[in-house]
Amino acid sequence: MPYGFVLVGGRSSRMGRDKTRLPYRGRPMALHQAEKLAVVCGRVALVGKDPEAFSDSRFPYVADDAPEAAAAFGVEAALAFSPEETNLVLAADVPRCPESFLAALLDVAEAIHAPAVVPVSGGRPQPLCAVWRRSALAALRSRLEAGDYSLVAALHALHAVLIPEEVTAAMAGGAPANFFNVNTPEEYEALEREAPADGPAGAAAQPPRR
């Protein structure tokens, strides 16, 4: 069964406060993401630099102890923690991404033997809404130790499979708008004005699909 990880370790410098704890549909944004992953993966952990931030959460917390604030360290920490080869990594700040897309992404990845399977949307890869294999850990760690923190560069070096943009868009829930990244107060306000489009994410009582 794949393991799900929500990355919560960003600096939120443009937001001016911790965006992962901003409320969205009745819960902190990070927990909204975690509940979706719980439906499609079963097991979920949060990954970040402040274990106290979600100390009252039902999800385990994986500490990213790197002094640098780079998402690649969060992916590394997730893969080092995971007992599974297949892992679904999701950023906390793309809350529109629906369960339907996460499930479809896992289905695609099942047929592809690659260190990472990554959708492309908005003209760029989305490595923080992607399937990462634990077998990518050693190579990713080597790049980080060499001072290369770029996840996109790592995808090319690892020979990851990029799902073409038109294929991503045709997948269930793969519309470009669903990869909307919430970085600023204005973007958060726009998100809050939206009516719920995909139902509550907290369907934790549903059995995982795997």
User: pLDDT at residue 204 above 70?
Assistant: no
Q: Decide: helix, strand or coil at residue 104.
A: helix
Q: Rounded to the nearest 5°, which phi and psi values hold at 103?
A: -65, -40
Does the residue 209 lie in any domain? no
Domain that holds residue 156: 3-193
**Per-residue confidence (pLDDT) for residue 71, from 0 to 100:** 93
Does the residue 49 lie in any domain? yes
pTM: 0.88
Find tokens 């992953």 and name the residue: 37
pLDDT band (50, 70, 90) for residue 207: very low
CA 159, CA 151: separation in Å to the nearest integer? Answer: 12
When divided into structural domains, the chain yields a total of 1
Does the residue 206 lie in any domain? no
Q: What is the pLDDT of residues 59-92, one digit of tens each?
A: 999 999 888 889 999 999 999 999 999 999 999 9
Find tokens 């868009």 and name the residue: 169
Does the residue 201 lie in any domain? no
Q: What is the CATH number of the domain that holds 67?
A: 3.90.550.10
Give me the mean pLDDT over the 139-153 stretch: 96
Does the residue 203 lie in any domain? no
Does the residue 91 lie in any domain? yes
